[in-house]
Chain A
Amino acid sequence: MPHSPSPTVFVVDDNAAIRKAVSRLLRSAGIAVTVFASPTEFLAQYHPNTPGCLVLDIAMPGFDGLQLQTTLDKKGSSLPIIFLTGTGDVSKSVQAMKHGAFDFLTKPVNAKNLLPAIRSAIERDAIVRQEQARLSEICARLDTLTPREREVLEQVVAGKLNKQTAGDLAITEATVKMHRARVMAKMKVQSVAELVRLAERCGIRGTNSLKSAA
């Protein structure tokens, strides 16, 4: 598992005074901050592994906040974004919302709103990252299965009996049992129900019998 740095808040705003003030406020609350004058600057320096959240000014000259959101989306980033908006940015705000912005705060932003929002964003980021970490571990276990074992797993997930599986895969029932036991061990589960749940989280769907399909 890669190292997990402490959460950082990224502030992207073209206004230097606001950058400075917001970063001060966050520092006063004991939150680590990195500031960027433009989305481009942020993209150049940001490492996706860094947890935290993004405090983003919605209207900036050139490459603006919305475009940054889209770009991050495409890159599969799950970094929660808190948009700072002015009063006149209603249409942009709606657009940002559709793309799954974490929160909107109107300038001038009050610490009473900003700090809790940042905290919950960081929290959510942490949960998401934890979830992602677990998932990738499970997926890693899946990767250890042999093709045959994977086939057997798919039959199990599909709810087939050992006998049906044996028929479908044209092997003996004893062999199916042996594979099932090995899969259970490799996936570190105690029950079939648990195995099915993990497999589904990793996106494995049960396959119907080839025969019945035929």
Chain B
Amino acid sequence: MPEKDNEGRPSQLRVGRHYPMNWIPVFWSINLGACLTLAAFYCVVWCKQRETWAHLLFSCSAVAAAAISAFELGMMNAQTVEQYQTLVRWIHVPTWVLTVSFVAFVRLYLHAGRARLAWSIYGLRTLVLVLNFISPVSINFRTITDIHHFSWGGEIVSVPVGLPNPWGLISQVSLLLLLIFSVDATITVWRRGDRRRALLVGGSMIFGAILAWHVPLVIWGVIEVPFFLGFTYTAVVAAMAYELSNDMARAAHLAHELELSDKRLNLAADSAGLGLWEWDLSKDEIWITPTRRAELGFPVSGKITFEDLISRWHPDDRDKVRQALRDAIKNGKDYDAEFRRVLADGSVRWVASRGRVQVNKQGNPIRLLGVSMDITARKQADLEAARQRHDLAHLARVNALGELSSSLAHELTHPITAILSNAQAAQRFLDADEVDLNEVREILNDIVTEDQRAGEVIHRLRRLLRKGEPQTHCDDIDLNEVIQDVLRLMRSDLINQNVTVDTDLAQNLPSVTGDRVQLQQVVLNLVLNACEAMTNYNSSERQLLIASKSENGTVRVSVTDRGGGIPEGKQEQVFDRFFTTKKEGMGLGLSICRTIIDAHRGKIWATNNAQCGATFHFSLPIVSPDGLFAAPSEVFDKSTLTATDASAPRVAAPSVLLRAGANGSEPEELRTSASSVLLERRQ
């Protein structure tokens, strides 16, 4: 309530003096409060996102601006010189904080302003602060002799009267540098194309830096205004706050966009049957696309650790995949594995999973990013195809043996003939008056030998005729043995056809990996084929050469005949299914040979000889000593859904996949690009 003077009318002067809370205190206080609110707000933001240092710097400068306002308000209402001196001295602390955090903010947030200028400002400002506390009163005044009260805008305010400190010049130099720094930063931002920001932040900076010049002018007594440094900085603080809030709005928008994009990505991933995953190694936390997450029976939210995830894998595959992942992390390589998962409903699905290790600046792995694809259908189709191939091969084998039946009967006839004659001879010897036991013993020995020989023939036959199950393992095979086995079976047939067989088999032939029966089938087919090619030729010319040799990491077998050769240009076609030049041929023999050799990761081809006839060759990779990955892991009908594949998870380096991961370090970016590459690949 306004007091009244003696005359009973209100005195403006007295009222001003007695009720200092007029517009000046109100404005200064509002400024102070606003700065503190912004400071507190951004301090909270910083606390949640520690890496956004600009927020902290902004908070500091806002607090400093608030403090400056408070000091100024104090100075305007200072009643004694001592009070004033204290305030003038201590106001330099928030000023230092404001200047330093402001410059740092510009550098960090706007990525503008020259480093040298910035460091000069830090240095000078710090020097000013030091000198301020060394000086008797402050950097601005050597002494303050009086406080000058005057009316300003209807308010009585105080300004100091005293001797300016010559060191104050340094303060002015730093102010000048700040101005230059602001102009320079503004130009940089403007040139960068971010004009709005240049106008707002840069403009307010320049404006503030210019307005700050009122301080020396007041000190020197050039103008008579109260200090309002707090307000000049408030403009800057307000501009910064505006920018930051814009950023936050943009961040919110981006978050929304990201959510949408996430949904789109999930939809794309789901419809492509892909699952995306990310494994944070330091936190051992795994993120998986929601659909996959639900499939695996994880709750919608909540942490998934690696052990949680691995518990969803098929027990037989866990160790192998764990090892593959460990290798990938250890060597920083890409990871690629096929394994089985057990879903929440208990069903088993095959999954191909590929990932890439992400490293930090020190090169230490921090994260594994990847995609997984359900390949159960493919695996089942593979299995079905393998079964069909297996059945067809068996059919062809039975067919080929049918062609050989009389020859095979011979092979059995020989030992049986010998056995019968031997047995009947023995009977007669025993009927004689004097039994020659030695003779009988010898006969029995021969019978046993011949019986064994017959047994071997039957065994060989049974092996070839057996349909059996697609083989679940591969043997190390000596191709020379395979050739000799086949020649033994075909001996009588070759004799009947008057075909002379020469062999040129390399000594100490390295082993190959595969299915013995199927490789025998290949050799059998090639020999039968060669014999048939020579049926219309003079029997003296029916010569067959079978050679084996090791070359360039493979074993090569060639079957050379002296028949009519292959019509020019049909060397490839002979391996086509149902291609035949024979009246009774099914055209399956050579196509099956190709299927078998392909499944063994080998090659089969045909050439015409210089003189006459053709040569069929096939080559198979030699078993490498360390075996596992070099050897064909998927032999012909071996792609069964048993532990075969799982026992050798593929740890190749898929160059196509996750190619994008190499340049982008942003997780979102990587996720998107990885899936798009995969999608492309599926088409």
Chain B residue contacts of A60, Cβ below 8 A: 495
Q: Are B428 and A28 in contact (CB under 8 A)?
A: yes
- Checking B417, B429, B439, B495 against A18 with a beta-carbon cut-off of 8 angstroms, the contacting residue is B417
Among B409, B414, B446, B494, find the residue whose CB has the most chain A CB atoms closer than 10 A: B414
Among B426, B450, B494, B496, find the residue whose CB has the most chain A CB atoms closer than 10 A: B496
Chain A residue contacts of B443, Cβ below 8 A: 24
* Contact A17-B446, Cβ < 8 Å, known A24-B425, A86-B413, A88-B409: yes
Complex interface residues of chain B between 493 and 521 (CB less than 8 A to chain A): 494-496, 500
CB distance from B379 to the nearest CB of A (A): 46
- Complex interface bits, A100-112 against B, C-beta within 8 A gives 1, otherwise 0: 0000000111110
Chain A, Cβ-Cβ closest to B449: A17
CA distance A17 to B415 in the complex (A): 7
Complex interface residues of chain A between 15 and 40 (CB less than 8 A to chain B): 15, 17-18, 20-22, 24-25, 27-29
CB distance from A204 to the nearest CB of B (A): 45
CA distance A111 to B425 in the complex (A): 8
Does A203 reach chain B (CB closer than 8 Å)? no
Does A45 reach chain B (CB closer than 8 Å)? no
Q: Are A107 and B428 in contact (CB under 8 A)?
A: no
- Complex interface bits, A72-106 against B, C-beta within 8 A gives 1, otherwise 0: 00000000000010111100000000000000000
CB distance from B418 to the nearest CB of A (A): 4
The number of chain B residues with a CB under 8 A from chain A is 31
Does A139 reach chain B (CB closer than 8 Å)? no
CB distance from B658 to the nearest CB of A (A): 63
Does B388 reach chain A (CB closer than 8 Å)? no
* Contact A17-B450, Cβ < 8 Å, known A59-B410, A59-B495: yes
- Checking A18, A22, A87 against B406 with a beta-carbon cut-off of 8 angstroms, the contacting residue is A87
CB distance from B637 to the nearest CB of A (A): 33
Q: Are B413 and A28 in contact (CB under 8 A)?
A: no
CA distance A149 to B199 in the complex (A): 158
Q: Are A110 and B416 in contact (CB under 8 A)?
A: no
- Checking A27, A29, A61, A107 against B413 with a beta-carbon cut-off of 8 angstroms, the contacting residue is A107
Chain B residue contacts of A109, Cβ below 8 A: 417, 420-421
- Checking A20, A59, A64 against B492 with a beta-carbon cut-off of 8 angstroms, the contacting residue is A59
CA distance A61 to B414 in the complex (A): 14
CA distance A114 to B422 in the complex (A): 13
Among A20, A64, A110, find the residue whose CB has the most chain B CB atoms closer than 10 A: A20
Chain A residue contacts of B429, Cβ below 8 A: 28
CA distance A16 to B381 in the complex (A): 53
Does B126 reach chain A (CB closer than 8 Å)? no
Complex interface residues of chain A between 49 and 64 (CB less than 8 A to chain B): 59-62, 64
Q: Are B446 and A20 in contact (CB under 8 A)?
A: yes
Does B642 reach chain A (CB closer than 8 Å)? no
- Checking A21, A25, A61, A86 against B409 with a beta-carbon cut-off of 8 angstroms, the contacting residue is A86
Q: Are A21 and B496 in contact (CB under 8 A)?
A: no
* Contact A108-B425, Cβ < 8 Å, known A59-B492, A60-B495, A88-B407: no
Q: Are B421 and A22 in contact (CB under 8 A)?
A: yes
CB distance from A38 to the nearest CB of B (A): 12
CB distance from A97 to the nearest CB of B (A): 18
Does B145 reach chain A (CB closer than 8 Å)? no
CB distance from B402 to the nearest CB of A (A): 13
Chain B, Cβ-Cβ closest to A60: B495
CB distance from A185 to the nearest CB of B (A): 54
Chain A, Cβ-Cβ closest to B450: A17
Chain B residue contacts of A21, Cβ below 8 A: 417-422, 425, 446, 450
CA distance A109 to B418 in the complex (A): 9
Q: Are B418 and A110 in contact (CB under 8 A)?
A: no
- Checking A25, A59, A64 against B421 with a beta-carbon cut-off of 8 angstroms, the contacting residue is A25
Q: Are A15 and B425 in contact (CB under 8 A)?
A: no
CA distance A84 to B439 in the complex (A): 25
CB distance from B3 to the nearest CB of A (A): 142
CA distance A88 to B413 in the complex (A): 11
Q: Are B492 and A87 in contact (CB under 8 A)?
A: no
- Checking A17, A27, A29, A88 against B414 with a beta-carbon cut-off of 8 angstroms, the contacting residue is A17
Chain B, Cβ-Cβ closest to A24: B425
Chain A residue contacts of B428, Cβ below 8 A: 25, 28-29, 111
Chain B residue contacts of A22, Cβ below 8 A: 421
Chain A, Cβ-Cβ closest to B406: A88
Q: Are B410 and A18 in contact (CB under 8 A)?
A: no
Q: Are A110 and B409 in contact (CB under 8 A)?
A: no
CA distance A15 to B416 in the complex (A): 12
A sample of 15 cross-chain residue pairs with beta-carbon separation below 8 angstroms, ordered by A number, consists of A15-B417, A17-B414, A17-B453, A21-B425, A24-B425, A25-B421, A25-B422, A28-B424, A59-B492, A61-B500, A64-B495, A88-B407, A88-B410, A107-B413, A107-B414
9 shortest A-B CB distances, which residue pairs? A88-B406, A28-B428, A21-B421, A111-B424, A17-B418, A108-B417, A24-B425, A25-B425, A21-B418
Beyond A21-B419, A86-B410, 10 extra complex contacts between A and B, CB < 8 Å? A17-B418, A18-B414, A18-B417, A21-B420, A21-B421, A21-B422, A61-B494, A86-B406, A108-B419, A108-B421
